[in-house]
Chains A and B, each alone.
Chain A
Amino acid sequence: MAPTTCVNCKEARAVIIRPKNRQKICRACFLHIFETEVHETITSANLFFPGERVAIGASGGKDSTVLAAVLKTLNERYNYGLDLCLLSIDEGIRGYRDDSLETVKRNAVQYEMPLEILGYGELYGWTMDQVVAQIGKKGNCTYCGVFRRQALDRGAAKLGIKHVVTGHNADDVAETVMMNLLRGDLPRLSRGTSIVTDSGASDIKRSKPLKYAYEKEIVLYAHHRQLDYFTTECIYSPEAFRGSARTLIKDLEKIRPSSILDIVKSGEDMAALVPNQDSGKNGQAATAEDESAGGCGSANGRSSGGEMAAMEEQLASNEDAGSRETEIKLPKTAPKKAGKAGKPAIKTQTLQHCEKCGYMSSQAICKACMLLDGLNRNRPKTEINIGMEDEEGSSTLMRQMEKIQLTNS
């Protein structure tokens, strides 16, 4: 059988079946089409302006590496006039971050972009390894997500840059849509689908130029351009809702490859239908600390493996409580109308500065400081106390023993 020719240029031999639509195309056409699609995303959403300084949130993984490569290419091809640089966050996860940071450093040389690396250790006094040692393997994604979000903003601020681009791809966005449907979190669904998120709590704009790019195509692009990237998923990452959504999406992609894009489309429409008051629920609207950023291979979230079970428990107990309640009915129309009339006057969040660190926050104390508080309060004073014979020392030791047992169980 003669080799299939590319359906696009009709000359070269097709070597790629596009995951997105199963078209058979050649290498050159694939690279060009992929870049053009990202270009269209950028231009139709007016992401950049000429002369803008843009920081690429770089983790050394495939998404951010491809993002950096494509942006460099497009910047030169279409004269965006962007001043690009790489911004990396060192979470302090040994065996995961050490190697990927090396990759980012090589990328900086390859793409001739300045690089800024910011560590959790220097920012917060806690590396992720230390956080995990303290709180265990469950629930640490919350810390990582909140810290990273701020770290990117702080890094950008340090460089005097107002726009950070991240490597979120179509699979990530689709996952977020499904995950938040499962979690019943419409405000996050809404935020996760928009290409630009102006975080309510800082003046730094974030965007995802790869929002419509399939993860599989990103891998293909990286492969065919022989990009230098690092492949390991974060070693700390059991997460129920995102995991469940991810499995679903992988299955959907097998059935109908376009599903990923279709979910993104659904998410975009649904985001516009989210009732306003819901987005202010629990005072958690678009604060900078609230939305997680990419870079963390498998868990951009803030939840632990037991989250699904915990929510189930919560819902069940709500229901139990509901059945014990006596419903008191108010006259039907009056309160509803008042609610509707009051709609324009939704409580908006006022931006203030965190009392502790001065970072912009919608609360008196920003989320990162709240988490840090909890961590610092329980920080065992191991090195100092462990060898001491006095009462205090032994009680510290006992507490540590208890902790060990807890972690083991």
Chain B
Amino acid sequence: MPSIEMTSPCMECKNEESILTIRRRALCSNCFQRFVAYKVIRRIEHYKPTINNNPIPQILLPLSLGVSSSVLLHIIDSVTQVRRRKPNTNKAYDLHVLVVDPTSLSPSDRTYETNFLAAKTNFPSATTFTKIPFHSIFEYAPDMKQIMLEYAGPGFVDDASRSNEERLTAFRSTITSATSRKDLDSVLLTRLVVAYAKHIACEAILWGDSDSRLAAKTLAGAAKGRGASLTWQVSDGMSPWGVRFEFPLRDLSKPELLQYAGISELLEGVIIPEEPISDNILTKNLSIDDLMMRYVVTQGEKYRGVMANVSRTANKLEPAKGVDDQFCSLCGALTGNVKGNDAGLTVASQFGNSQGSFCYGCIRSRPEVIP
């Protein structure tokens, strides 16, 4: 067969024209997708089907309909489908997909129904495909009402006659600073996803955080006094609620996932385009999470490896054991200091003794606490 002249052949298969360059390698579409998929599969290969895998592990994938979690779903779905086509193969897991209604998180005109349906149609391997609103946290985690009341303090009046939605909105609006609001929203969202996972008896949650996001979360966590929680907030392992947290996208950066999303047709109608963090916002009005994301993205253009190394570093920390192992009723972090940190700052030394069962990070975001 005569060889076809190619201007820049794929460095992997050498049969196709390369379409993009990733980590200094020019690859064709197929090889690129395989490369990305490999990075993900490697992270979840412990869910291999075994002969006597009874009961089948139940796994939850929270889908924000953003780039990262959608790519994760796409990859896992294709792996599952390939596996199912093989004869005599047992199931490795049951995949449950959960979408928390994005409009209940931040009000917007955009509808997400079509995206949700597209995901459901395009990725049929999921056992269940569910959407719930943010305020259903009161249903799945019934103790949250009491916790919020305690947390918000005397300044907040909860009106039991109002709907869950209104009550959650009222609570969220007591928090005025951008940082604290974003911080608490992510705490509540985690609690909701965990509560749902427990509700349907899932043993693990596959979070769709890219390594850029994990790096930003690491730096932001440190900046918000939540350093001790990083061991489960950005590391693979057991969360305080007995559900495993896994981050299968930890070897892929946001730009790489964007590249992936750009060439896979199945993702086209699924992803809700993200509104970029505006450059015009004054730094002091940004939330810490946004500041860190912006930092990681801009630095990542030049120093991709250094940024990727941040979450790898955090992943090396050993799971925290507390002095008394009391956990924050809101976010699940230790309320006391980590064992071995005897001389450092404590909740009591910073905020006094009457802070209830909340941790340092949560008290910092409390409405009445001075920033």
Interface of A is mostly: helix
Complex CA distance for A312 and B309, rounded to whole angstroms = 10
Counting chain A CB atoms within 10 Å of each CB, which of B306, B314, B343 scores highest?
A: B306
Complex CA distance for A252 and B287, rounded to whole angstroms = 9
* B179 interface hit (Cβ, 8 Å): yes
Q: Is the CB of B223 within 8 A of A263?
A: yes
Complex CA distance for A314 and B304, rounded to whole angstroms = 12
* B273 interface hit (Cβ, 8 Å): no
Q: Is the CB of A248 within 8 A of B219?
A: yes
Q: Is the CB of A255 within 8 A of B288?
A: yes
- How many residues from A make CB contacts under 8 Å with B? 52
The interface residues of chain B lying within 8 Å CB-to-CB of A293 are none
Q: Which one of A268, A270, A275, A308 lies within 8 Å of B306 (CB-CB)?
A: A308
Given contacts A22-B370, A267-B222, A308-B303, contact A252 B338 (CB under 8 A): no
* A130 interface hit (Cβ, 8 Å): no
Within 8 A of B (CB), among A265-280: 265-275, 278
Per-residue B-contact encoding for A233-248, CB less than 8 Å = 1, 0 else? 0000000000010001
Q: Is the CB of A261 within 8 A of B221?
A: no
Complex CA distance for A49 and B148, rounded to whole angstroms = 46
The interface residues of chain A lying within 8 Å CB-to-CB of B284 are 254-255
The interface residues of chain B lying within 8 Å CB-to-CB of A264 are 344-345
Counting chain A CB atoms within 10 Å of each CB, which of B218, B341, B344 scores highest?
A: B344
* B340 interface hit (Cβ, 8 Å): yes
* A181 interface hit (Cβ, 8 Å): yes
Q: Is the CB of A266 within 8 A of B226?
A: yes
Q: Is the CB of B306 within 8 A of A312?
A: yes
Q: Is the CB of A244 within 8 A of B371?
A: no
Q: Is the CB of B371 within 8 A of A270?
A: no
Q: Is the CB of B225 within 8 A of A178?
A: no
Q: How far is the CB of B156 from chain A (nearest CB, A)?
A: 21
Q: Is the CB of A262 within 8 A of B286?
A: no
The interface residues of chain B lying within 8 Å CB-to-CB of A271 are 340-341
Q: Is the CB of A21 within 8 A of B305?
A: no
Complex CA distance for A205 and B222, rounded to whole angstroms = 28
Binds A, one of B160-168, B184-192, B227-235: B227-235
The interface residues of chain B lying within 8 Å CB-to-CB of A273 are 228, 231, 317-320, 338, 340
* A259 interface hit (Cβ, 8 Å): yes
* B145 interface hit (Cβ, 8 Å): no
Q: Is the CB of B223 within 8 A of A252?
A: yes
Q: Is the CB of B305 within 8 A of A319?
A: yes
Q: Is the CB of B309 within 8 A of A315?
A: yes
Residue of A nearest to B342 (CB): A272
Q: Is the CB of B344 within 8 A of A268?
A: yes
Counting chain B CB atoms within 10 Å of each CB, which of A257, A259, A311 scores highest?
A: A259
Per-residue B-contact encoding for A375-388, CB less than 8 Å = 1, 0 else? 00000000000000
Q: Which one of A22, A212, A252 lies within 8 Å of B345 (CB-CB)?
A: A212
The interface residues of chain B lying within 8 Å CB-to-CB of A263 are 222-223, 225, 227
* A177 interface hit (Cβ, 8 Å): yes
Q: Which one of B219, B312, B318, B345 lies within 8 Å of A261 (CB-CB)?
A: B345
Q: Which one of B219, B360, B371 lies within 8 Å of A181 (CB-CB)?
A: B219
Per-residue A-contact encoding for B62-80, CB less than 8 Å = 1, 0 else? 0000000000000000000
The interface residues of chain A lying within 8 Å CB-to-CB of B228 are 266, 269-270, 273
Q: With contacts defined as CB atoms under 8 Å apart, how many contacts are there between chain A and chain B in the complex?
A: 165
Q: Which one of B227, B283, B304, B305 lies within 8 Å of A267 (CB-CB)?
A: B227
* B299 interface hit (Cβ, 8 Å): yes
Interface of B is mostly: helix
* B272 interface hit (Cβ, 8 Å): no
Within 8 A of A (CB), among B300-340: 302-306, 308-310, 312-314, 316-320, 337-340
* B350 interface hit (Cβ, 8 Å): yes
The interface residues of chain A lying within 8 Å CB-to-CB of B226 are 266
* B138 interface hit (Cβ, 8 Å): no
* B224 interface hit (Cβ, 8 Å): yes
The interface residues of chain A lying within 8 Å CB-to-CB of B286 are 255
Given contacts A184-B313, A186-B317, A275-B317, contact A257 B371 (CB under 8 A): yes
Q: How far is the CB of A187 from chain B (nearest CB, A)?
A: 11
* B24 interface hit (Cβ, 8 Å): yes
The interface residues of chain A lying within 8 Å CB-to-CB of B295 are 248
Residue of A nearest to B349 (CB): A44
Q: Is the CB of A184 within 8 A of B312?
A: yes
Q: Is the CB of B306 within 8 A of A311?
A: yes
Complex CA distance for A67 and B188, rounded to whole angstroms = 43
Q: Is the CB of B317 within 8 A of A319?
A: no
Complex CA distance for A264 and B222, rounded to whole angstroms = 8
The interface residues of chain A lying within 8 Å CB-to-CB of B222 are 177-178, 181, 263, 266-267, 270
Given contacts A270-B317, A272-B339, contact A312 B288 (CB under 8 A): no
Complex CA distance for A29 and B371, rounded to whole angstroms = 21
* A256 interface hit (Cβ, 8 Å): yes
Complex CA distance for A277 and B157, rounded to whole angstroms = 51
Complex CA distance for A86 and B320, rounded to whole angstroms = 40
Complex CA distance for A57 and B340, rounded to whole angstroms = 28
* B250 interface hit (Cβ, 8 Å): no
Q: Is the CB of B23 within 8 A of A262?
A: no
Q: How far is the CB of B219 from chain A (nearest CB, A)?
A: 6
* B115 interface hit (Cβ, 8 Å): no
Q: Is the CB of B360 within 8 A of A255?
A: no
Extra inter-chain contacts (6) besides given A248-B219, A258-B225, A270-B230, CB under 8 Å: A252-B288, A252-B291, A262-B225, A273-B228, A273-B320, A275-B317
6 closest A-B pairs by beta carbon, nearest first, are: A266-B227, A315-B305, A272-B340, A268-B344, A262-B225, A269-B228
What are 23 A-B pairs with beta-carbon distances under 8 A? A22-B371, A178-B223, A181-B313, A181-B314, A184-B309, A186-B313, A248-B219, A254-B284, A255-B285, A255-B286, A255-B288, A262-B224, A264-B344, A265-B225, A266-B226, A268-B343, A274-B317, A308-B303, A311-B306, A315-B309, A316-B23, A319-B23, A319-B305
